């Protein structure tokens, strides 16, 4: 066999959705068969979903996964298919891939390098499989091998790197190359992060070149379990060259990418490698042999799997991934739509525009009929879709201005959302009078500034929650990462909500993105929204103090771009105050050293005091390596010294 047609599928799965996950995997297999694919790689843990968390430790989940595999396998007749699942062996759980040959499970390969950094907790649930070890496990009425296996199928040698295996320095692929593999499958669950697709492409291309083989990379797709979004981005390479890449950010249940791989080309390349040292004397049990040969329907054209770099810009990646994340959260939570307390500022405007992009991009991909079918739990009426799916409310007090009111209405009308205006000043005054009577004195801005600001934000929550309940919708919180870092948010006020989509995004980038949406838009699908100019010309403000104070966020805190850099150095890079200040002095010479010192001190003090707030934020989307979510990425003690000694040292410098 000189040429084979190999494929990779991106699947949009749901944790523990046994029938649904199997159905979507089966649909991908059926499409691949129609395309002439003989060798198909499905994603890591595809049968259970990657985000099952501690349920991976349930023996019943392991039993159900194996039963689902046995029901799924006959759908793969005439093909070689790899699919991921958790596998129990000797009272331990392994992150495994089942190899199905002509409808029969013929073996399992277990992951050797577990992802345990950032938002990954695989060592909590799985054991790493040792190199060179093979055991046997019961599957139905048979026993099949489990371990560090190569599969010789009709003369084609197939090996595996499972997600993290390809990200480490000592890749299994190095040894697989010495074992003479023709093809490497990489079933992955690789979450989206800005610019990450380029890294994936590099290790796939370099793997195919250095290992002289075909390389097939599969990935999950969509918002699987709530916080993590997968962008798909399947890649097929051969001998160091691209063969095909799957479309990213799709709203479909699956995306199949297929291409022809010339085995003689890779074998020739391997034979020419002076550095290639075949592994001699390998134990026979490390190779599973099968005489099966998948049918050949070539030459295959890659018209079905065009390379896609639709989101090279960070701004466009952000637009597409957030739209996909919101769409899946909406349908998988069975919510009737979204509600946003629209303040007329950048954060709530950005959240509202993201809902608009969700609708427009999903309809572009699925068509309106497919869009409505995917949201089949919603009883659509005769209103426009945006008006039904997004309700915006502007809630004013005596400290609100005409600028923000006009901005809120302008944005809501521009994106087609339902829009209301509520005057909540009487509620604020009611609380103020009640508390004044209780404590026996009048409140004033001189003595009670923080309390008088916060009551305005908190008063806005109950009514918008009530509207959310009436509409069986999901309230979106509008707090960003910069605010979370320094606690510049009112708990149970602007943080109120069931989902906080921009809690992982810094304010400086949000403002940049809104300007991009005003002038550029998501080409070629979505036009810009010029009405966003009413947001972009404003200086960000909480608008909670009397208007004569001319309150702005940056006067309360520091310039947002400065805050973002301090946060990156202090939290992402784990540098202490003195070094942060020294680095800021080197890179921000346009500010005087005393201002930079004051801002660094303010940041560390506010960061330490406000961990309790970050612990209470609604779930947010993880999109880069600067996330502050303490449940998935950035752990910090709720109580600490607050860098007291380190800040004292900085004050003396």
The pairing of strands 474-475 and 338-341 is: parallel
Do both 511 and 622 map to the same domain? no
Task: Answer yes or no: are the C-beta atoms of 145 and 108 closer than 8 Å.
Answer: yes
Residue 55 has pLDDT above 70, yes or no: yes
Separation of alpha carbons 517 and 534, rounded Å = 13
251, 272, 301: which is the final residue of a domain?
301
Residue 71 has pLDDT above 60, yes or no: yes
- CB atoms closer than 10 angstroms to residue 512: 16
Domain assignment of residue 628, yes or no: yes
Give the per-residue pLDDT at 544: 78
Domain assignment of residue 622, yes or no: yes
Separation of alpha carbons 72 and 81, rounded Å = 11
Residue 306 has pLDDT above 90, yes or no: no
Give the per-residue pLDDT at 380: 94
Kindly report the CATH number assigned to the domain that includes residue 10. 3.60.110.10
353 pLDDT band, cuts 50/70/90, is: very high
Q: Which residues pair with 323 in a beta bridge?
A: none
Domain assignment of residue 115, yes or no: yes
Do both 443 and 494 map to the same domain? yes
Do both 576 and 627 map to the same domain? yes
Element (DSSP H or E) covering residue 29: helix 18-34
Give the per-residue pLDDT at 213: 96
Do both 536 and 565 map to the same domain? no
Domain assignment of residue 390, yes or no: yes
Kindly report the CATH number assigned to the domain that includes residue 614. 1.10.10.1510
Average pLDDT of the chain, as a whole number: 94
Give the per-residue pLDDT at 303: 38
Give the per-residue pLDDT at 254: 98
Give the per-residue pLDDT at 312: 58
Domain assignment of residue 576, yes or no: yes
Residue 310 has pLDDT above 50, yes or no: no
Residue 279 has pLDDT above 80, yes or no: no
Do both 575 and 465 map to the same domain? no
Residue 410 has pLDDT above 50, yes or no: yes
Domain assignment of residue 307, yes or no: no
Do both 191 and 319 map to the same domain? no
Do both 282 and 326 map to the same domain? no
Do both 31 and 141 map to the same domain? yes
Give the per-residue pLDDT at 276: 73
Give the per-residue pLDDT at 629: 94
C-alpha angle 460/461/467, rounded to 5°? 100
Residue 301 has pLDDT above 50, yes or no: no
Give the per-residue pLDDT at 308: 46
The two tokens of residue 332 are 């998988």
Domain assignment of residue 309, yes or no: no
The two tokens of residue 7 are 């494929």
Residue 1 has pLDDT above 70, yes or no: no
Give the per-residue pLDDT at 300: 53
Separation of alpha carbons 419 and 571, rounded Å = 38
Q: What is the DSSP letter of 547?
A: G
Element (DSSP H or E) covering residue 40: strand 39-41
Domain assignment of residue 234, yes or no: yes
Do both 288 and 330 map to the same domain? no
Give the per-residue pLDDT at 272: 82
Give the per-residue pLDDT at 304: 35
Q: How many domains does the chain have?
A: 3
Task: Give the residue-averaged pLDDT of 555-584.
Answer: 96
Do both 350 and 416 map to the same domain? yes
548, 583, 603: which is the final residue of a domain?
548
Kindly report the CATH number assigned to the domain that includes residue 357. 3.40.50.620
Give the per-residue pLDDT at 159: 98
Burial class (CB in 10 A: 0-12, 13-18, 19+), 469: exposed
3 pLDDT band, cuts 50/70/90, is: very high
472 pLDDT band, cuts 50/70/90, is: very high
pLDDT above 70: percentage of residues in the chain:
97
Do both 582 and 619 map to the same domain? yes
Task: Give the residue-averaged pLDDT of 97-107.
Answer: 98
Do both 484 and 617 map to the same domain? no
Element (DSSP H or E) covering residue 363: helix 346-374
Q: What's the domain range around 352?
A: 314-548
Helices (H), 375-439: 385-389, 402-415, 425-439
Give the per-residue pLDDT at 305: 39
Cβ contacts of 325 within 8 Å, gap of 6 or more:
222, 223, 229, 501, 621
Separation of alpha carbons 313 and 459, rounded Å = 39
């Amino acid at each position: 066999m000189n040429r084979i047609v190999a494929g990779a599928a991106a699947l949009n799965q749901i944790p523990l959705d046994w029938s649904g996950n199997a159905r979507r995997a089966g649909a991908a297999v059926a499409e691949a068969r129609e395309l002439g694919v003989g060798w198909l790689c499905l994603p890591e843990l595809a049968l259970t979903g990657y985000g099952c968390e501690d349920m991976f430790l349930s023996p019943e989940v392991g039993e159900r996964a194996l039963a689902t595999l046995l029901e799924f396998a006959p759908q793969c007749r005439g093909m070689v298919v790899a699919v991921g699942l958790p596998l129990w062996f000797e009272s331990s759980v392994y992150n495994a891939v089942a190899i199905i040959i002509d409808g029969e499970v013929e073996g399992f390969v277990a992951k050797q390098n577990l992802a345990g950094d950032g938002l990954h907790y695989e060592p909590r649930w799985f054991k790493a499989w040792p190199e060179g070890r093979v055991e046997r496990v019961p599957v139905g009425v048979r026993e099949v091998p489990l371990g560090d296996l190569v599969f010789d199928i009709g003369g084609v040698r197939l090996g595996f790197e499972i997600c993290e295996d390809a990200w480490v320095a000592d890749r299994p692929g190095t040894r697989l190359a010495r074992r003479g593999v023709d093809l490497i499958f990489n079933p992955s669950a690789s979450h989206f992060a800005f610019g990450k697709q380029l890294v994936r492409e590099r290790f796939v291309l370099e793997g195919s070149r250095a290992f002289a083989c075909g390389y097939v990379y599969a990935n999950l797709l969509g918002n699987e379990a709530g916080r993590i979004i997968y962008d798909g981005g399947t890649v097929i390479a051969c001998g160091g060259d691209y063969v095909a890449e799957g479309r990213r950010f799709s709203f479909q249940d699956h995306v199949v990418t297929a291409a022809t791989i010339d085995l003689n080309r890779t074998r020739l390349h391997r034979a020419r490698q002076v550095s290639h040292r075949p592994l001699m004397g390998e134990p026979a049990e490390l190779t599973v042999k099968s005489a099966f040969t998948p049918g050949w329907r070539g030459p295959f054209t890659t018209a079905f799997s065009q390379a896609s770099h639709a989101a090279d810009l960070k701004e466009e990646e952000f637009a597409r991934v957030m739209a996909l994340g919101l769409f899946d959260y909406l349908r998988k939570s069975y919510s009737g739509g979204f509600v946003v307390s629209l303040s007329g500022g950048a954060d709530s405007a950005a959240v509202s525009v993201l809902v608009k992009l969700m609708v427009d991009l999903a309809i572009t991909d699925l068509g309106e009929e497919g869009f409505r079918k995917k949201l089949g739990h919603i009883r659509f009426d005769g209103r426009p879709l945006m008006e039904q799916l997004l309700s915006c409310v502007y809630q004013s007090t005596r400290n609100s201005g005409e600028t923000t009111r006009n901005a809120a209405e302008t944005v809501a009308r521009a994106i087609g959302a339902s829009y209301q205006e509520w005057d909540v000043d009487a509620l604020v005054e009611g609380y103020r009078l009640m508390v004044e009577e209780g404590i026996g004195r009048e409140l004033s801005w001189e003595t009670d500034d923080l309390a008088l600001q916060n009551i305005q934000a908190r008063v806005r929550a109950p009514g918008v929650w009530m509207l959310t309940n009436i509409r069986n919708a999901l309230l979106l919180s509008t707090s960003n990462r910069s605010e979370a870092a320094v606690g510049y948010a009112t708990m149970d006020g602007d943080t109120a909500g069931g989902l906080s989509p921009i809690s992982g995004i810094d304010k400086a980038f949000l403002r940049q993105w809104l300007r991009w949406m005003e002038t550029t838009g998501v080409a070629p699908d979505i036009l810009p929204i010029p009405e966003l100019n009413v947001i972009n010309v404003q200086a960000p403000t909480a608008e909670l103090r009397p208007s004569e104070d001319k309150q702005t966020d940056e006067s309360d805190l520091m310039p947002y771009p400065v805050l973002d850099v301090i946060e990156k150095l202090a939290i992402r890079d784990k540098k202490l105050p003195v070094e942060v200040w020294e680095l800021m002095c080197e890179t921000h010479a346009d500010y005087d050293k005393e201002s930079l010192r004051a801002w660094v001190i303010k940041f560390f003090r506010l960061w330490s005091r406000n961990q309790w707030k970050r612990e209470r934020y609604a779930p947010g989307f993880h999109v880069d390596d600067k996330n502050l979510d303490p449940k998935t990425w950035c752990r910090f003690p709720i109580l600490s010294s607050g860098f007291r000694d380190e800040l004292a040292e900085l004050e003396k410098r």
